[in-house]
Amino acid sequence: MNFENILVAEENGIGQITINRPSKLNALNMATIQELHNALESLEANENIRTIIITGEGEKAFVAGADISEFANFSVEEGAQLAAQGQELLFDFVENLKTPTIAAVNGFALGGGLELAMACHFRIASDNAKMGLPEVSLGVIPGYGGTQRLPQLIGKGRAMEMIMTAGMISAEDAFRVGLVNHVVPQAELLSFTKSLAQRIMKNSPMAISKAIKAVNANFKEGVNGYETEIRNFGKCFGTEDFKEGTTAFLEKRKAEFTGK
């Protein structure tokens, strides 16, 4: 699969997607969103891929926002369609992947860039990262899930302040409020993220996919997260991974999971 705006690599069970528009600070246009969807769909279908890392090319930016030139003249209907299509193709799609997906945030993650990072299952930031949702400074609001996921991650009050001021926060502040899980020197960002991915890959892929569903259920309107947990807990009992995990524990050996 050939891409113009992203790079895709696979190594030792880890799929890495790098947004590769450094001259535009890796800004998201619709073509890039479609390519990200296609790449993620392909990695998700690959049984050899156990974790996915999303990052940006260069040291300046993860994704510095959406490509404003693409929608500056949109109508009300076109604007709503832009948000709906983007959420379906990429942001909701990432959140609901069964494969653990980690954002390695290098540099600026603004607007759609922060929304993409927040859609990932969790985030690691380089120490020079800056994050924010500056949309109100352009006369618009976040449209790729930012008004929903930011309050879920850092609380309503802090999210309101970030969105209303259109300001950026540092990597350390992002860590302090729970927006990112770890902050590391930029030179160590990918190696640290890959080491974390490898720790995840020691566990049952089947159980992890069901855990993702159960955790996400708590944030979905009209869905009882506890019921989702009970249902997915029960489903685990019918998997080969459950048999292997419990047998290995009782036999005092390391489990070898197949993801089935």
Amino acid type, 246: T
Q: Residue with structure tokens 């190594």?
A: 11
Q: Residue with structure tokens 């994050």?
A: 131
**Helix 146-154 and helix 156-165: axis angle, to 10°?**
130
Question: Which residue numbers are catalytic?
Answer: 115, 135
CA separation for the pair 173, 179 (Å, rounded): 8
Secondary structure, 3-state, the chain: CCCCCEEEEEECCEEEEEECCHHHCCCECHHHHHHHHHHHHHHHHCCCCCEEEEEECCCCEEECCECHHHCCCCCHHHHHHHHHHHHHHHHHHHHCCCCCEEEEECCEEECHHHHHHHHCCEEEEECCCEEECCHHHHCCCCCCCHHHHHHHHHCHHHHHHHHHHCCEEEHHHHHHCCCCCEEECHHHHHHHHHHHHHHHCCCCHHHHHHHHHHHHHCCCCCCCHHHHHHHHHHHHCCCHHHHHHHHHHHCCCCCCCCCC
CB of 117 within 8 A of CB of 149?
A: no
CB of 108 within 8 A of CB of 126?
A: no
